[in-house]
Structure 1
Amino acid sequence: MNQKELFSIATDWFHEQNWQPFAFQKESWKAFLAGKHGLLNAPTGSGKTYALWFPIVLNYIKKNPEYRTKHKKGLKAIWITPLRALSQEIRQSAERITVDLGTQMTVGIRTGDTSTKERASQKKAMPDLLITTPESLQLLLSSKGYASIFKDCSAIVVDEWHELLGTKRGIQMELGLSRLKTICKDLRIWGISATIGNLEQARRVLLGPNSEQLQNSVMVRANLKKKITVKSIIPKTMETFPWRGHLGLHLLEEVVPIINNSKTTLLFTNTRSQCEIWFQKILEKHPEYAGEMAMHHGSINKETRLWVEQAIRNESLKAVVCTSSLDLGVDFAPVETVIQIGGPKGVARFLQRAGRSGHRPGKESVIHFLPTHAMELIEASALQVVVKENAVEDRLPYLNSYDVLLQYLTTLAVSDGFYPGEIFPEIQQTFCYQGITEEQWQWLLNFLVLGSQSLSSYDEYKKVEIEADGKFKVNNRGVAMRHRFQIGTIVGDATISVRYQKGGYIGSIEEYFISKLTQGDVFTFAGRNLEFIRIKGMQAHVRNSTKRTNKVPSWMGGRLSFSAQMSELLRQELYKAAAHQLSGPELKSLKHIFDKQREESIVPSPSEFLIETFKTRDGYHHIFYPFEGRAVHEAMSSLLSYRVSLLSPITCSLAFNDYGFEMLSDKPIDIQAVIDNNLFTPEYMLADLQRSLNSNEMARRKFRDIAVISGMVFTGYPEKGVKMKHLQSSSQLLFDVFRDYEPNNLLFQQAFTETFEHQLEEGRLRMALERIGKQQIVWKDCEKATPFSFPIITDRLREKLSNEKLADRIKRMTKILMK
């Protein structure tokens, strides 16, 4: 069949559905059938699955003219999805095509949720089209004779590539692809990505920076203009001194009419605890929603989550309070309205959530923004700009993650074994390891065979044997089994499953929250009040309780920080306020706050960097405003306090939020000396940062993940997990051994690199310091706290006081400030 005939099969199918194929879909079909690789840039809900399932099936029809009568079995294409929840949707799209076109192709799913029975039958006969996750692909590579499974595979599609880029799961994909390129004779590699700032780089990472695949590739863009409208919920009365203590709950009644006026509403919160609290409070105030409202976040059990997703599709729920667990893909058309509670901290995340409403090509998306405190209206104003300019963040890829590489090499050694001379050139072709040296490679091979130098006398670290012909192979069944259990790069904080005493799984909570509870304590989880009974193994036993409680599990992931893009946009909005250009309802509604700020201090302009100092009964407050996001402020505040301590011995406690940071001390800091001694200089930044932060402690925490991923520490068999305390202590022991006896150990060094580059965003910190260096430093010695400093001071108090006491204290503080 020629291309024209193949195209008409596809277009006829579209017409039967009363659809019209988009230009980008046709472009993808054409490029794929011409043997090209590529990256498709398309928003969720635009028909991207049909852009690539179709050419995969058409390619099979082209090669097998007798496809209706004779079926050639075997794996023909793999579709990688980062989220298991999406696999059903993708399967339905594929089956519609294969069945309607009369092919006999089978479609299968293989993820962590696939039953053992299903896996066993797949082992005997692979489906033609396989939907799987990055982890399950690695598991296939760990099975004996994997090359024969993949040999006829002609396509691999990596969906939601922007989500994998800049994570270790993305590196797993790079390594998996490097192997498949060699095994499969005629493989086309395609990625699908939503808009990110560095799309070209995303394509290079996917295909390999110097590969022939990259030379023979295309970028297909679905230029579907989507209209997004941001409606801010502006409080009728606005505090002049904002604080973020009430999670926006004082605007709860503003949300009710929005919910009543639409069929289905998604309320996005930034954290799981905020999700739990909002769900509880809405039901408390409006019991009429019982049965019509649900909650969805990653720690709730799978059955409940699937039920909620299905109920959204059937339009049987009025509202769902959720976290980013519903950000991606999960494909439901009928959501009418989206409400974002609190600043989303990132542009891409906000646009992704907005796109959930009117989730159809050409439909308008409406997103309501509900600020948790007044300052967040500046973020809302910045998001109005984003929507007009579609300015999205970059996702920066990792380099030289040795832990993931060691896991991958062990995977190959567990299956058929590998020859280093064959595998090394493949690994050098990937983006992550393009700079790996012969010396580093030899170190890694030694590590597999002997463990590291300082551990060479312990047999448990010797996993791989070198056979007579130079092949690296795992021959020990126990080693192979443990390795397969531990394939993956997501190392969460240890979770404990929460169950009723009589059985019945509710969900999972991080260990550190449960460890603080005593018997009889009541907490809220999954929308219920539960009384804690005991911990047994890795399970917490509970029973339902009628007592009221304000204990809500907090998850470590709850501390999101501004992206660089978001910080830049926020500063631009503030500079408008400095120039008295209050465009838009959000900035206009904050006029009284800016006026009050000017009474005591200033609203900084682009050429100014603001420092405020004042004294209260707590001590001497020194507040700095880089407006760079929490992560950068954490590093900058440590750096500055270290440099100040070199001038005069002083101890201070640090607090920071997305707008600035505070140094609170028992005696005043000489701010003039800070300015005169150029303490914001980027020179010697790394050395000072290492001394200022407990960088050893932070690297030690990072090292736990590295030790688990590289296989040095075993996390235990399913249902018999190793307690976090043991994991922590065994990885800390290793860390200390390397620090004292083998500081050039690559995994030990990686822990520091990751701490600085990813956790403390060293690159952004350097750029922020360079920017401050060009600004005029304005130091305001104030009588009392200012509206800008108030959220930072109250954030510090939150660590010490319960919510009720905090609210009372803040009322008193505000009264004094308003005099």
Structure 2
Amino acid sequence: MVWITPLRALAADTVRAIEEPLPTLQSVAAGWSVAARTGDTSTGDRRRLRENWPAILVTTPESLSILLSLDDAHEIFSSLETVIVDEWHELLSTKRGVQTELALERLRSLRPGLVSWGLSATLANLDDAVAALVGPSRAAAARLVSAAIPRKLEIETLIPEPMERFPWAGHMGMRLLPQVVAAIDRAATTLVFTNTRSQAERWFDALRSARPDWSGAMALHHGSVDRELRSRAEDGLRSGTMKCVVATSSLDLGVDFGPIEQVLQIGSPKGISRLLQRAGRSGHAPGAVGRLVCVPTHALELIECAAARGAVAEGVVEARVPLTAAVDCLAQHIVTVACSGGFREEDLLAEVRRTRAFTDLDDASWRWAIDFAARGGPALAAYPDYAKIVERFGRWYIASKALARRHRMSIGTIAGDATVEVKWLRGGRLGTVEESFISRLNAGDRFLFAGRPLVLFRFDGLTAWVKRSRATIALQVPRWNGGRMPLSTLLSSAVLDLVRDATAPGGITTAPREVAAVLPLLEIQSRWSRLPDHDTLLVETWQGRDGHHVFVFPFAGRLVHEGLAALVAWRIARSTPSTLTLACNDWGFELSGPDAVVADERAWRQLLSPVNLLDDLLACLNSTEMARRHFREIARVAGLVAGGSRSDRQTQASAGLIFDVLAEHDAGNMLLAQARREVLEQQFEFRRLHDAVEAIAGKDIRVVSTPRISPLAFPIWAEFVQSRLSTKDWLARITDMARDLEQAAGKP
């Protein structure tokens, strides 16, 4: 049996969980052994596994692909009967999901009749999930097994006092630190989730400063912290010796820590599935009650928390749409199969087309993929390093053993900024930070990482050598790309439902306590402007000392709003040359400039028209340069550039050079088209943006001139100010404006 887990950190726990009942199953499992093979497995353990494979192998998509690339892959999996994919929802809609689809189909070719299982607790689009797991042709015969065991969850929210009526997102909820400390104090063990690693670093530091007596019973856990430090945190949770662990999504999945009594969620969960997943980390025992406490970072997040809780009660979760046509994954898989004894082209094509990801793959695209693997395509044919497979007697093989070794080292689809190791000057490893952060620091600069105040001693390009900092204030905190977490479409809709219901006649009597707490905010919004709803696009205009501002509220999530703001600004400038500054959050976006911005409803309908949407978006976003930057990830997956210890600048330079060569000499290269497509989807959620614009076309548009910034516009304006001024200046500016607006609004 092969058990696939999305996180290698879960492998050890999964092995323990499988081993535990085996002694009681001797009649069917006599002599069974269990082992893990992941990126954390030592060289010695890998060698021992090759000599004696276990009955049950726990692995990841990347390690499974590596095993499938070995010369004896057919022998390794010759007795395989079952494959189980755990947390299938986590792989869907990602390239790792595509990689898993291809690997599963390869296993079925090696072992016809293979039984496949997919496990998930938070899936909405089951038909898509089944088709991706077993292939579209087998989906109708698949069986859905659902456990009718209701999970008891208690979800509540900490409410700030006094309640702010002009919220802003810059203080990360630290106003609630005393209440958070009190909540942790009441429980034996608490898991505190944040949405970003930077947030986790700040909250861990704040909690440790507030309760130094907890220092020995607190830990920090996120993907950039060293594996040994994360293991200590996990062991402490498992044994119940930890009072509190501050974590990110690194502990979202499959963690079975019985002693956890409660979970705290810092900030809005931004999605219903995420709230369910995190709430399930507590009370992890049959019949136990899971308990989650939401800690809003500003007043509007109270509504989001209440909306998420309501959606959970109704059993609603977000869909995960599987990826299709990821040709970089296909190119990698072709070389993987070539490493393991080669393939006949027609056989592999049929195999690939049995996956959902490539069920519509046409002959021309397949021929392109084979040509790319064989010689790098027409533009790179003169360079032997790109000739990875060769044809002999009707079969394709890897070109050399050296290329096979190099390919195995680069198998995988996880991409991110280049990282550097952070090590103590006297020895010991703390983890990794992105090169883009550490390269901005000078020797002697202080920063916070792995829950420790550090001072940079030197940076040699691959390693940041540090010492402990005696100073614990004014510390810089690393920022990691990929930390943006937009509000989901389902949760956005639920927010509008709550606002509508709470402000209807008699709505206060049935409103959740979170929404009741922000009714004074909604009352000011209604008095100065109007409340948003499903059928109307609200546009507010306001003139301040620094110029003209317009705020638009599509409620489509931060990434979509970034794209819409850029699109509208470009369409305005196309007819009226102007300089506009953009800002956004999950509820809306802002355009500001020295001159009056569009205030006519008819003009807004044209600015947000779906006509020529794709062409205009590509034109306004400098899409070629964005695709060039993004091409690094695609080039690495497709094998055009190596991973490993190269610096970010080196990798980007290599990928950028290849992009330019392909753009000039092989403009039809499918990787270029994929880069442009992925930029739009990853940067701006293009499918969701398209749906939002189509929805706006059917709505009324109401333009309201407000006497001052409204409560809904204030947090977007705060983002605008924060992006332009130094920390000290923007804090003072926002605080002063909030005070003036509170005075203008009068007593609650």
Q: TM-score scaled by structure 1?
A: 0.88
Show the counterpart of 1:311: 236
Structure 2 counterpart SS, 1:654: strand
> Is residue 371 of structure 2 the alignment partner of residue 371 of structure 1?
no
1:539-578 C-alpha deviation (Å, 9 max, x unpaired)? 1011011113331111112211112211111222222345
Show the counterpart of 2:701: 777
Show the counterpart of 1:793: 717
> Is residue 527 of structure 2 the alignment partner of residue 602 of structure 1?
no
Shift, 1:802, TM fit: 4.2
Which whole-Å CA distance do the structure 1 matches of 2:681 and 2:454 have between them? 40
Picking from 600, 623, 627, the partner of 1:695 is 623
Show the counterpart of 1:195: 122
Show the counterpart of 2:257: 332
Aligned AA (1:627): F
Could you say if the C-alpha distance between residues 574 and 701 of structure 1 is closer, same or farther in structure 2, counting changes exceeding 3 Å? farther
Show the counterpart of 2:13: 89
Shift, 1:667, TM fit: 0.7
Aligned AA (2:485): L
> Is residue 194 of structure 2 the alignment partner of residue 266 of structure 1?
no
Which whole-Å CA distance do the structure 2 matches of 1:638 and 1:475 have between them? 47
Q: Which moved more, 1:231-240 or 1:706-715?
A: 231-240
Aligned AA (1:119): R
Asked if the contact 1:704/1:727 (under 8 Å) is kept, the reply is: yes
Show the counterpart of 2:145: 220
Asked if the contact 2:583/2:717 (under 8 Å) is kept, the reply is: yes
1:410-455 C-alpha deviation (Å, 9 max, x unpaired)? 1111221111121110111000000111111111111111111112
Which whole-Å CA distance do the structure 2 matches of 1:669 and 1:113 have between them? 55
Structure 2 counterpart SS, 1:352: helix
Asked if the contact 1:224/1:362 (under 8 Å) is kept, the reply is: no
Structure 1 counterpart SS, 2:724: coil
Show the counterpart of 2:634: 706
1:26-79 C-alpha deviation (Å, 9 max, x unpaired)? xxxxxxxxxxxxxxxxxxxxxxxxxxxxxxxxxxxxxxxxxxxxxxxxxxx111
> Is residue 210 of structure 2 the alignment partner of residue 285 of structure 1?
yes
Query: What percentage of residue pairs aligned between the two structures are identical?
Result: 40
Gaps of 5+ in 1: 1-76
> Is residue 251 of structure 2 the alignment partner of residue 251 of structure 1?
no
Aligned AA (2:669): N
Asked if the contact 2:601/2:702 (under 8 Å) is kept, the reply is: no
Structure 2 counterpart SS, 1:604: coil
1:463-514 C-alpha deviation (Å, 9 max, x unpaired)? 21111x0211123232112111101100121111100112210010011110
Aligned AA (1:722): R
Shift, 1:675, TM fit: 3.1
1:166-213 C-alpha deviation (Å, 9 max, x unpaired)? 1111111111111111211441111111222101210111000013xx
Which whole-Å CA distance do the structure 1 matches of 2:502 and 2:599 have between them? 26
Could you say if the C-alpha distance between residues 802 and 330 of structure 1 is closer, same or farther in structure 2, counting changes exceeding 3 Å? farther
Asked if the contact 2:453/2:475 (under 8 Å) is kept, the reply is: no
4+ runs of 1 displaced by more than 6 Å? none
Show the counterpart of 1:178: 105
Which whole-Å CA distance do the structure 2 matches of 1:201 and 1:280 have between them? 42
Could you say if the C-alpha distance between residues 774 and 292 of structure 1 is closer, same or farther in structure 2, counting changes exceeding 3 Å? same
Shift, 1:125, TM fit: 2.0
Show the counterpart of 1:128: 55
> Is residue 309 of structure 2 the alignment partner of residue 384 of structure 1?
yes
Aligned AA (2:5): T
Picking from 645, 662, 665, the partner of 1:741 is 665
Alignment of 1:797-816 (within 5 A): 797-816=721-740
Asked if the contact 1:295/1:526 (under 8 Å) is kept, the reply is: yes
Which whole-Å CA distance do the structure 1 matches of 2:335 and 2:563 have between them? 36
1:105-147 C-alpha deviation (Å, 9 max, x unpaired)? 2211111111111111211221121111111111111111211
Asked if the contact 1:153/1:186 (under 8 Å) is kept, the reply is: no
Shift, 1:598, TM fit: 2.2
Asked if the contact 1:529/1:549 (under 8 Å) is kept, the reply is: no
> Is residue 562 of structure 2 the alignment partner of residue 634 of structure 1?
yes
Show the counterpart of 2:346: 421
Over the aligned positions, Cα root-mean-square deviation in angstroms equals 1.5
Aligned AA (2:712): F
Which whole-Å CA distance do the structure 1 matches of 2:526 and 2:301 have between them? 19
Show the counterpart of 2:81: 154
Q: TM-score scaled by structure 2?
A: 0.96
Structure 2 counterpart SS, 1:639: helix
Show the counterpart of 2:459: 535
Asked if the contact 2:496/2:533 (under 8 Å) is kept, the reply is: no
Shift, 1:674, TM fit: 5.3
Alignment of 1:320-719 (within 5 A): 320-467=245-392, 469-547=393-471, 548-579=473-504, 581-582=507-508, 583-672=511-600, 675=603, 678-716=606-644
Show the counterpart of 1:115: 42
Aligned AA (1:660): G
Aligned AA (2:150): K
Asked if the contact 2:627/2:675 (under 8 Å) is kept, the reply is: yes
Picking from 622, 627, 650, the partner of 1:726 is 650
Which whole-Å CA distance do the structure 2 matches of 1:331 and 1:636 have between them? 42
Structure 2 counterpart SS, 1:671: coil
Structure 1 counterpart SS, 2:119: strand
Which whole-Å CA distance do the structure 2 matches of 1:677 and 1:663 have between them? 16
Asked if the contact 1:578/1:604 (under 8 Å) is kept, the reply is: no
Aligned AA (2:122): T
Asked if the contact 2:35/2:58 (under 8 Å) is kept, the reply is: yes
Which whole-Å CA distance do the structure 2 matches of 1:193 and 1:308 have between them? 25
Show the counterpart of 1:15: none
Shift, 1:262, TM fit: 0.9
Asked if the contact 1:266/1:339 (under 8 Å) is kept, the reply is: yes
Aligned AA (1:143): L
Shift, 1:677, TM fit: 5.7
Aligned AA (1:287): P
Which whole-Å CA distance do the structure 2 matches of 1:137 and 1:601 have between them? 57
Aligned AA (2:31): Q
Which whole-Å CA distance do the structure 1 matches of 2:580 and 2:667 have between them? 32
Structure 1 counterpart SS, 2:144: strand
Which whole-Å CA distance do the structure 1 matches of 2:605 and 2:717 have between them? 27
Asked if the contact 2:610/2:690 (under 8 Å) is kept, the reply is: yes
Structure 2 counterpart SS, 1:320: strand
Q: Which moved more, 1:483-492 or 1:572-581?
A: 572-581
Which whole-Å CA distance do the structure 2 matches of 1:359 and 1:804 have between them? 44
Which whole-Å CA distance do the structure 1 matches of 2:611 and 2:378 have between them? 35
Which whole-Å CA distance do the structure 2 matches of 1:326 and 1:538 have between them? 28
Aligned AA (2:390): E
Which whole-Å CA distance do the structure 2 matches of 1:505 and 1:792 have between them? 40
